[in-house]
C-alpha cells in the first residue's frame, strides 16, 4: 500500500510554476522498500507537446541499502498509447545504490501528448537486489494543457 502527499510551492502563478509530489511507499515490514520516500519536483501543468524534466529524489529511511530501478510498463490491459496523455521518456532509471538513511537524486523527462488530467499509470519502482517492487503511478497526476 502506498500513500501520498502533495506539497506545492508555487514560484509564480504561470504554468511554469514548480510543485512537488511526495510518495511515501508504505509496504509491509518485511519489504526492503519499507521506509522509502520518493519526491517528484517539477511542473504539474504541462503544455501540449512540451518536454519537461522532473527531479526525482529518493530518501532511504530503511535499515537496508537499496539499489533501485524505476521502470515504465504498460498496464496489464495494454491500452493503446493514446489513452494516456503523458509519456515518461526515460525507462529503467537506476537509482542508487542508496545507503541506509541517505538520499539520491536523478532526473526524468515527460511529454504531454493529449490535453487532460492524467496519472503515471504503469510506473513502478523495485529493488534490484531483493526483487521487491511497487506500482505507484496512479498516485501522481499531471495536467496537460
Domain ranges of the chain: 2-144
Cell of 116: 487532460
CATH 2.60.40.10 fits 2-144, yes or no: yes
Cα–Cα distance for residue pair 145/135, rounded to 1 Å? 26
Q: Who's near 41: CB < 8 A, 6+ residues apart?
A: 18, 19, 20, 54, 55, 56, 57
pLDDT cut 90: percent of the chain above it: 31
Cell of 59: 530518501
Output the pLDDT for position 10. Answer: 38
What pLDDT digit, counting tens, does each position of 25-78 carry? 666 667 888 888 888 888 889 999 999 999 989 999 988 899 999 988 765 555
Give the residue from 65, 70, 67, 59 showing the smallest Cα distance to 104: 59
Collapsing DSSP to helix, strand or coil, 65 comes out as coil
β-sheet bridge partners, residue 60: 36, 102
Amino acid at each position: 500500500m502506498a500513500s501520498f502527499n502533495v506539497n506545492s510551492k508555487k514560484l509564480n502563478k504561470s504554468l511554469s510554476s514548480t510543485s512537488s509530489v511526495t510518495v511515501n511507499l508504505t509496504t509491509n515490514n518485511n519489504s526492503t522498500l519499507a521506509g522509502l520516500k520518493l519526491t517528484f519536483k517539477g511542473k504539474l501543468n504541462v503544455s501540449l507537446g512540451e518536454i519537461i524534466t522532473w527531479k526525482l529524489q529518493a530518501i532511504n529511511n530503511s535499515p537496508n541499502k537499496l539499489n533501485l530501478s524505476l521502470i515504465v510498463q504498460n498496464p496489464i490491459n495494454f491500452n493503446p498509447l493514446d489513452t494516456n496523455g503523458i509519456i515518461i521518456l526515460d525507462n529503467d532509471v537506476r537509482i542508487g545504490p542508496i545507503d541506509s538513511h541517505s538520499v539520491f537524486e536523478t532526473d526524468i523527462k515527460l511529454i504531454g501528448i493529449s490535453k487532460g488530467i492524467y496519472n503515471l499509470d504503469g510506473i513502478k519502482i523495485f529493488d534490484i537486489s531483493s526483487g521487491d517492487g511497487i506500482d505507484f503511478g496512479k498516485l501522481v497526476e499531471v495536467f496537460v494543457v
